[in-house]
């Protein structure tokens, strides 16, 4: 029995904040996939010239070649076999489904049958996420002129920083937490100065 792994993944859709997801997969080693692919082609393509002897003759070799190609494709594609999956569409928050036993690669595109958009299930590492989330001005919002406040949220054991105004969401790494605290502090300072200005006028 192969062990089930749970890699860190999230669901990504252009112009929407990432959504946490959970997946359990069984890794399929390259040698096993190569062996299964070669075996499927050898068996079904190998018998194709012989099954032509059985009436009605011509459909059997065609069927044998097609079955061999399908089994070889199924064995070769998909480095992971899905054991379980849980995730929601980043656009409409409806649950998405990946069939247990499905063979997938990461990233993997899913279809939401509620809003008909196609989010992508991606593995991530926090260092790369920091590069995406930060820019010269600090932590990135959906809207460049957003004045919202960052707060920390927890979804399915994943920590996120979320903006209460534009809905931007980033993984809560130490560097991004510090950037969010700095931005919140600057925002509080500007609010205080604006209040004093109103009082003076």
pLDDT per position as a tens digit, 134-187: 766 678 887 777 878 899 988 777 788 888 888 888 888 888 888 888 888 887
| 7 preceded by a cis bond (ω within 30 of 0) | no
Residue partners of 72: CB distance under 8 A and separation at least 6: 36, 37, 40, 41
Which tops the pLDDT comparison, 172 or 190?
Answer: 172
Please determine, for residue 92, whether its predicted confidence score (pLDDT) is greater than 80. Answer: yes
Predicted model pTM: 0.66
What is the average pLDDT score of the chain?
Answer: 84
SS3 at position 41: helix
Residue 64: CB atoms within 10 Å: 20
The Cα 98–Cα 119 span in angstroms is 13
Tell me what pLDDT residue 147 has: 79
**E strand or H helix at 142:** none
Helices (H), 77-136: 126-133
| 107 preceded by a cis bond (ω within 30 of 0) | yes
Q: What is the total residue count of the chain?
A: 201
What residue ranges in the chain does DSSP mark as E strands? 9-13, 16-27, 80-87, 103-104, 108-109, 120-123, 134-135, 138-139, 150-155, 158-163, 169-171
Tell me what pLDDT residue 137 has: 66
Segment of 2-16, 97-111, 144-158, 162-176 carrying the highest mean pLDDT: 97-111
Give the residue carrying structure tokens 């079904």: 44
Which tops the pLDDT comparison, 112 or 194?
Answer: 112
């Amino acid at each position: 029995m192969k062990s089930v792994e749970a890699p860190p993944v999230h669901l990504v859709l252009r112009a929407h904040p990432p959504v946490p997801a959970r997946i359990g997969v069984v890794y399929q080693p390259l040698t096993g996939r190569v062996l299964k692919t070669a075996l499927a082609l050898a068996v079904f393509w190998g018998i194709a010239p012989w099954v032509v002897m059985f009436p009605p003759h011509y459909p059997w070799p065609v069927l044998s070649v097609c079955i061999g190609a399908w089994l070889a494709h199924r064995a070769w594609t998909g480095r992971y076999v899905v054991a379980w999956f849980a995730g929601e569409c980043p656009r409409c928050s409806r649950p998405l489904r990946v069939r247990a036993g499905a063979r997938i690669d990461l990233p993997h595109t899913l279809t939401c049958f509620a809003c008909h958009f196609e989010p992508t299930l991606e593995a991530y590492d926090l260092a790369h996420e920091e590069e995406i989330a930060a820019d010269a001005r600090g932590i990135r919002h959906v809207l460049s002129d957003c004045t919202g406040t960052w707060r920390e949220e927890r979804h399915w054991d994943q920590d996120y920083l979320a903006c209460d105004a534009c809905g931007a969401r980033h993984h809560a790494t130490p560097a991004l937490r510090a950037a969010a605290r700095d931005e919140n502090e600057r925002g509080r300072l500007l609010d205080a100065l604006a209040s004093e200005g109103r009082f003076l006028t």
